[in-house]
């Protein structure tokens, strides 16, 4: 069964850093574009970042560009999100998601990992 499991969420002070991980299993991870999506405390969903199957292409929402870095390890079937210069606006539940076969919708989601930025 295809599965994504996120980890690394924590409570961090403004200006701090955090690294999220996502472990994939049950499918050919190295064939898929992967993304991070976050859900705010108000339950709004926001796309954060994507990375192509070979890591050749990455993209970010404007609010995190320059502060967050997405990466992947296709040998270890893992996706990462390095988050620097965190602000309270980054507080959210972060989901790892797989891109579908016919477009950039998300056909598989993890259960999420919670990031809280607070002093």
Partner 1 sequence: EIVLTQSPGTLSLSPGERATLSCRASQTVSSNYLAWYQQTPGQAPRLLIYGATFRATGIPDRFSGSGSGTDFTLTISRLEPEDFAVYYCQQYGRSFTFGPGTRVDIK
Instruction: Give me the count of residues in the chain.
Output: 119
State whether the Cα torsion 117-20-84-58 is positive or negative.
negative
Options 9, 21, 91, 109; binder of partner 1; rule CB under 8 A: 109
Q: How far is the CB of 104 from partner 1 (least distance, A)?
A: 4
Give the whole-angstrom CA distance, residue 40 versus residue 109: 16
Options 18, 36, 92, 112; binder of partner 1; rule CB under 8 A: 112
Q: For the segment 11-70, give every residue that binds partner 1 (CB under 8 A).
A: 35, 43-47, 61
Q: Which CB atom, from 13 or from 43, has the smaller least distance to partner 1? A: 43
Q: Per 3-state DSSP, what percentage of the chain is helix, strand, and coil (rounded to 5)? A: 5, 55, 40
Residues binding partner 1 (CB under 8 A): 35, 43-47, 61, 95, 100, 102-112
């Amino acid at each position: 069964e295809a599965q994504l499991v996120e980890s690394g969420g924590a409570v961090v002070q403004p200006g701090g850093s955090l690294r999220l991980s996502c472990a994939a299993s049950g499918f050919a991870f190295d064939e898929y574009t992967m993304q991070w999506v976050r859900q705010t405390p108000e339950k709004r969903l926001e796309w954060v970042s994507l990375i192509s199957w070979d890591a050749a292409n990455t993209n970010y929402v404007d609010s995190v560009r320059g502060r967050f870095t997405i990466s992947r390890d296709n040998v270890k079937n893992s996706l990462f999100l390095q988050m620097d210069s965190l602000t309270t606006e980054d507080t959210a539940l972060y989901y790892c998601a797989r891109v579908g076969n016919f477009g950039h919708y998300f056909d598989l989601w993890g259960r999420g990992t919670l990031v809280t930025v607070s002093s």
